[in-house]
Amino acid sequence: MPEGDTVYKTAQLQDAALAGHVLTGFELRVPRFATADLTGETVLEVVSRGKHLLHRIGGFTLHTHLKMEGAWRTYAPGETWRRPAYQARAVLTTAEVVAVGFELGITELLRREDEDDAVGHLGPDLLGPDWDAELAVARLASHPDDPIFVAALDQRNLAGIGNVYANELCFLRGVLPTRPVSTVELEPFVDLAERMLRANKDRWVRSTTGDLRPGSTSWVYGRRGRPCRRCGTRLHGGELGRDQQERTVTWCPTCQR
């Protein structure tokens, strides 16, 4: 599941492959931008903003979002793609590499000056140069009645937290996901969120337990009905969210209060 750390690493790899190179081909396989062509433009950089990817090309920005199934992959010219071509939404070609965005949830081309229209609403980026822990705490605190799990997932508060981290944060801080924000110590919650993402940003295997072995990487996420790793109590689970966007939530009724 792509969260802020996955998108950050994806941006790093895309930047290493494309930055400074001139596009010899450019194709967006979405109706709205099907005729757009940036062939001949130079890729300036590729950066992440929370869960969003920004390919800055000439005076434009290719804004994409991986959602649940999306991925960016790079290939040598002529190399067979390892995902079906019909899943491709963006194809960027240089003399050295072909970068393909598969099953992207968002694919849009913006003028650089309009970039904030896509990502300006986001809160502080946990892995970004603009990270501001005090602002993140203030953003969370401005929603005192929201369940902490829901508030942590709101990208307007913290940019980069997804379902995995929201579950794990609640467990590690010992709070039920339904606890109102106003009853949670926000400074250590935010500090832990940053440390967790930074610990995982340079690897594909995400672990919040410190154990990278399969089946051992999470405390509660994906473990509903199994024993708590700390106390042995059977983990409970359900769904929690707002605006018909409920997410799977798992917790320990003993360790979380």
Pair 104, 174 in one domain: no
Instruction: Identify the residue with better confidence: 130 or 116.
Output: 116
pLDDT at 224 over 70: yes
DSSP the chain: ---HHHHHHHHHHHHHHHTTPBPSEEEE-SGGGTT---TTPBEEEEEEETTEEEEEETTEEEEEE-TTT-EEEEE-TTPPPSS-GGGEEEEEE-SS-EEEEES-SEEEEEEGGGTHHHHTT---BTTSTT--HHHHHHHHHT-TTSBHHHHHH-TTTSBT--HHHHHHHHHHTT--TTSBGGGS-HHHHHHHHHHHHHHHTT-SS--SSS--STT-S-SSTT-TTSBPTTT-PBPEEEEE-STT--EEEEE-TTT--
Supply the range of the domain harboring residue 33.
4-119
Domain boundary among 119, 154, 180: 119
Active site residue ranges: 2-3, 51, 247
Does residue 179 belong to any structural domain of this protein?
yes
pLDDT of residue 1: 64
Pair 41, 100 in one domain: yes
pLDDT of residue 241: 84
pLDDT at 39 over 80: yes
Domain boundary among 119, 149, 172: 119
The CATH number for 200's domain is: 1.10.8.50
pLDDT of residue 130: 84
